Amino acid sequence: MTILRSLRRVAAAALFLTVFAAPAASVAAPAPSLSYGSVGPADIIEPPLPVEAFPAQVQEACEIWSDLDWPQALRPTDYPVAGTGLVIRGSNVYGNRSGDLPLDGHYREYDVNPRTPGQHRDAERVVRDPGTHTVWYTGDHYNNFQEITSGCE
C-alpha cells in the first residue's frame, strides 16, 4: 500500500509540473518569430563580376561547360574533357536547400576543375540556372556564392 501511495504522489507532482510549470516557462521565454520574407541570403559575395575577374580556372570551366552545351542529367555525371584524359563532373540538380541563391531559381551544379578519373573532387563549383542563364561561383563548396555577370553563359 505504501508503494502505491508513493507512486500516486509522484504522478500527481508530475502532473502539477506539467500543467502549471510548463506554461510559465513558455510565457517567460516566448519563441522567436520567424520572418522568411525579410531575410536575405547571408552568403552572397558582392558585387557580381564578369568571369574575367574570377580565378582563371573559372573561365576555363565556363568554356568547357559551354562547349558541352551545359548538360542536364538526373545524377552527377563525369564528362570527358576533350584531348586531356581528364573528366569534369556536373549537370545534376543543385537543390539550394540553404536558400542562399534566389528562391525562384532552378539550379544545376558543375565542377570547376577537371580531374583524373577516380580522383576526389575539390570544393569549386559553378551553379547555373538554365532558365535565366544566371551563373554563380563558389570556391568553398556552397558556403559563399558570387554571381558571374558575363562570360559564363
Mean pLDDT, rounded, for 104-116: 97
In which domain, by residue range, is 71 found? 51-148
Q: What is the largest CA-CA distance in the chain?
A: 88
Please count the structural domains in the chain: 1
Which pLDDT value is given to residue 78?
Answer: 97
**In this structure, what CATH number is given to the domain that contains residue 67?**
3.10.450.30
Q: Considering the entire predicted model, what is its pTM?
A: 0.71
- Whether the per-residue pLDDT at 85 is higher than 60: the answer is yes
- Residue 15 belongs to some domain of the structure: no
Quick check: 115 pLDDT over 70?
Answer: yes
Within a domain: residue 18? Answer: no
* Mean pLDDT within 8-20: 42
pLDDT classification of 30: cutoffs 50, 70, 90: very low
> Distance between CA 13 and CA 9 in Å, rounded?
6
Any domain includes 9? no
Statement: residue 10 has pLDDT above 80:
no
Q: Is residue 46 part of a domain?
A: no
In a domain, 97, yes or no: yes
139 within some domain: yes
